[in-house]
Structure 1
Amino acid sequence: MTHRLTLLETVPLTPDVKTYIFDKPDGYSFTPGQATEMALDRDGWRDEKRPFTFTSDPDAGILSFTIKSYPDHDGVTEKLPGLVPGDSVLIDDAWGAIEDKGPGVFIAGGAGITPFLGILRHRERHGSLKGCHLIFANRAPEDIILRPLWETLPDLKTTFVVAEGARDGLRKGQVDGSLLDDVVDDFSGRFYLCGPPPMEDAVAELLSERGVSEGNLIREE
């Protein structure tokens, strides 16, 4: 089923990431970590659907999406920053395999943080973040989405990894075997994984080599 949303507000987070806040259709539901297909509600774009993850709380009266734009891509994400309050988009019903299955290690690359934003904030509001560890990899420090939030959520352990410009306690490099062995105490628990496909595949293989079973690895199918 298709739903029309009206943009209420945009909130810049990094030079190329914004949170888009929309009204919420009556009866629309999703679980933290899920996504939907979105299209611009304008001629020539209604069939150009792209997947985006909900970053608002399911109980909130609005829907929000935290989206990284790619100016060099001639597509939906390149057009989104031009939306103004009152503009509309179209979304389908919610879907997705990433959901909260309990405490664990959350490994995100860049915009892959979005499903974990929904899950971790929901856990913080409605329970506890004890046993949760966020490993968040980005190109540079300024690309870390919502770093102050992650650093202040109670009981959340954080490891920030950047490819360049490491400072202020950030680790330089990438999520490789050496880093995992250094920062993960136990590979018998749950691991959540979301990021660019090459990163996901590489990290999934590293986790498998360390004994993480498929049942304990939660990623999009």
Structure 2
Amino acid sequence: MGHTLAVTRIEEVTHNVRQLTFEKPEGFAFTPGQAAEVAIDKDGWRDADNPFTFTALPEWDELQFTIKIYPEHNGLTEQIGNMSVGDRFIVGDPWGTIEYKGRGTFIAGGAGVTPFIAILRMLRERGELSGHRLIFANKREDDIILRDEFEAMPGLETIHVLSEEDKNGFEYGHVDKAMLERLIGNTSQHFYVCGPDPMIESVNDALKQLGADPDALVFEE
């Protein structure tokens, strides 16, 4: 079932990421980490839907998506990048397999951090962030989504990894087995992994080689 919802606020998060807030239908419920199929209520785009993750919390009066814009793709996100307040989304029902299962490490690549935004916000509201870690991989420093918010979360250890810039205060390279072994220590925890498919596969393989329980790996299957 699709819900046609008007955008009420648009915020620039980075040079290519926008945060869109919009009306919440009465009775609409989801779990932090879940996504929905989204299209634009505009001729030629109503059937061109993509999955995006809710970054609001379920108890908020509004819904929110945080979306990376890819102008070079000539697709849905380019159109979303041109949207204005008052334009309308068509939002499907919530779905997804990424959900919070217990204390652990979140490993994200680029826009793959979006399923973790609501989960980490939920833990912040509960005062339960202590003991959690976010390893967030990006190409460059200015690509980091919601950096200030993550770094201000009390109890959350945030580690930024850059693959195209070697800067003080950042890990440099790719999130591989050697980096994970150095950063995570104990593998007796949950691991939440989201990013490009090759990254998910390589990180999951590395974690299992390091001794992580396969049942403790949480990712979109």
Structure 1 length as normaliser, TM-score? 0.98
Question: Tell me, which stretches of 5 or more residues in structure 2 are unaligned?
Answer: none
SS at match of 2:12: strand
Task: Tell me the distance in 1 between the aligned counterparts of 2:150 and 2:170.
Answer: 13
Partners of 1:126 and 1:11 lie apart in 2 by 26
1:71 aligns with 2:80: no
Offset of residue 146 of structure 1 = 1.0
Residue 6 of structure 2 is matched in structure 1 by 6
Q: CA deviation at 1:213?
A: 2.0
State the AA in 1 paired with 2:99. E
| Count of residue pairs brought into register by the alignment | 221
Following superposition, the deviation at residue 167 of structure 1 comes to: 2.1
Equivalent pair of 1:140/1:166 in contact (CA under 8 Å): no
Specify the alignment match of 2:190 in structure 1.
190
Root-mean-square deviation over aligned CA pairs: 0.8
Deviations 1:147-183 (A, max 9, x none): 1111111000111000122324011101011111111
Match of 1:126 in 2: 126
For 1:51, the equivalent position in structure 2 comes to: 51
**Aligned mates of 1:15, 1:202 — CA distance in 2:** 28
After TM superposition, give the deviation of residue 138 of structure 1 in Å: 0.1
* 1-structure distance, mates of 2:181, 2:214: 19
Identity across matched positions, percent: 46
Contact 1:141 1:166 in 2 (8 A): no
What amino acid sits opposite 2:78 in the alignment?
Answer: E
Q: Answer whether contact 1:124 1:153 (CA < 8 A) is retained.
A: yes
CA distance in 2, matches of 1:53, 1:3: 15
Deviations 1:13-69 (A, max 9, x none): 110001011110000010100000000101111111100000001100000000001
The residue that corresponds to 1:164 in the other structure is 164
Deviations, residues 170-207 of structure 1 (Å, cap 9, x unaligned): 11101011111111121111000000001111111101
CA deviation digits over 1:71-116, x for unaligned, max 9?
1111111110111111101011100000111111000000000011
Q: Which blocks of at least 5 consecutive residues in structure 1 are unaligned?
A: none
Aligned to 2:21: 21
Whether the 8 Å contact between 1:34 and 1:96 is mirrored in structure 2 is yes
Q: 2:142, 2:92 → 1: CA distance? A: 32
d(CA) in 2 for partners of 1:177, 1:50: 31
1:148-159 pair list within 5 angstroms = 148-159=148-159
- Of 81-90 and 165-174, more deviation after overlay is shown by 165-174
Distance, in Å, in 2 between the alignment partners of 1:174 and 1:192 is 17
Equivalent in the alignment of 1:30: 30
Q: Could you tell me the TM-score, scaled by structure 2's length?
A: 0.98
Does 2:106 match 1:106? yes
Q: Distance in 1 between matches of 2:25 and 2:14?
A: 28
The alignment status of 1:139 with 2:130, answered yes or no, reads: no
Contact 1:161 1:172 in 2 (8 A): yes
Structure 1 residue aligned with 2:201: 201
SS of equivalent residue, structure 1 residue 5: strand
Amino acid at match of 1:31: T
- Does the aligned pair in 2 maintain the 1:4–1:91 contact within 8 Å? yes
What's the CA shift for 1:214? 2.1
